Amino acid sequence: MSKEFKKLVIVESPAKARKIGGYLGDDYIVEASVGHIRDLPQRAADIPKEYKGIAWAKEGVNIEEDFAPLYVINPDKKAKVAELKELMKGADELILATDEDREGEAIAWHLVEVLKPKIPIKRMVFNEITKEAIQAAVENTRDLDYHLIDAQETRRVLDRLYGYRLSPVLWKKVMPRISAGRVQSVATRL
């Protein structure tokens, strides 16, 4: 891996990576995470060995320990994580430029948790993908917003605890493959 670049910028989509990379220049390499790299386990096979056989691990949320989520790297993202770790070796700064909403903030946080960077981390946000907006955003970075991260994690845990339990009931009683989210479930009852 060549050390020709100084800053690694991670965005969510490959299309954004190409466009933003063109605006930032040679001191940056821009790569896509392709969405979330980590989530609650989707299948029993995703549960780490040390948690297999523990009742709460199937849902991925330990309700006895303050609703602590069990995050795992999505199986289809393991190669992407390895690629990002390799790219980070040549960087002296990590800039997380995921979307400016709770999902984007959570993706940025999960990237930090998984990549474990030993270099400075910045959070870059923007409302449009123009040369001016991107150059302004890279000059005006901020820290991660843990309020947004907590909001996304709360939503994800509630979706898992309620949706996973109610969806099978809806499949039998209402319509096959309908999902029960935290909002839809209450509305269905009304």
Does the structure show a pLDDT above 90 at 163?
no
Instruction: State pLDDT tens for residues 90-119.
Output: 999 999 999 999 999 999 999 999 999 999
Q: Could you tell me the pTM of the whole model?
A: 0.86
* In contact, 69 and 60? CB cutoff 8 Å: yes
Q: Which two tokens stand for residue 54?
A: 């523990």
* 189: enclosing H helix or E strand: helix 184-189
The CA-atom distances, in angstroms, between 188 and each of 13, 37, 158, 180, 185 are: 34, 32, 17, 9, 5
Rounded to a whole number of angstroms, the CA Rg of the chain reads: 19
- Residue 28 and residue 63: Cα distance in Å, rounded? 42
Q: Where are the domains of the chain?
A: 1-37+74-144, 43-71, 146-190
Instruction: State pLDDT tens for residues 45-100.
Output: 999 999 999 999 999 999 999 999 999 999 999 999 999 999 999 999 999 999 99
1-37+74-144 CATH choice from 3.40.50.12780, 3.40.50.140, 3.10.20.600, 3.20.20.540:
3.40.50.140
